[in-house]
Amino acid sequence: MTKANPKLKAALVKGLINHHRTKKGGGPVNLNAKTLALISALAEKLMRESIRRSIDLCRQNGDSSVSLEHFQRVLPQLLLDFSV
């Protein structure tokens, strides 16, 4: 992991999945390495794209910092774009 291009660690993604599952009353999930790598890569791409779009909207509005409102405004289209 470099400072210029940090990656989501597979252990973090697996922990988030298992936390969600146990919170909903299910047990931990066993994921093979390829599946976990694919989920991690997709989560990273989704995260990076949401940040990029939020920054772009912030700049378009002439705002000085990104807020939750920027993220909320880009989220619907982002989810549609990722659903294809």
Residue 30 tokens, joined: 């066993």
Residue 62 tokens, joined: 């002439």
Q: Name residue 82's amino acid.
A: F
Report pLDDT digits (tens) over 38-52. 999 999 999 999 999
Ranges 4-8, 27-31, 68-72, 80-84, most confident: 68-72
For the chain, the first-to-last Cα distance in angstroms comes to 30
Q: How far apart are CA 77 and CA 61, in angstroms?
A: 18
Helix (H, G, I), strand (E, B) or coil at 56: helix
Which whole number is the average pLDDT over 54-73? 97
Which whole number is the average pLDDT over 26-38? 91
Q: What pLDDT does residue 78 have?
A: 95
Domain boundaries, the chain: 10-82
Q: What is the pTM of this model?
A: 0.79
Is the CATH number 1.10.20 carried by domain 10-82? yes
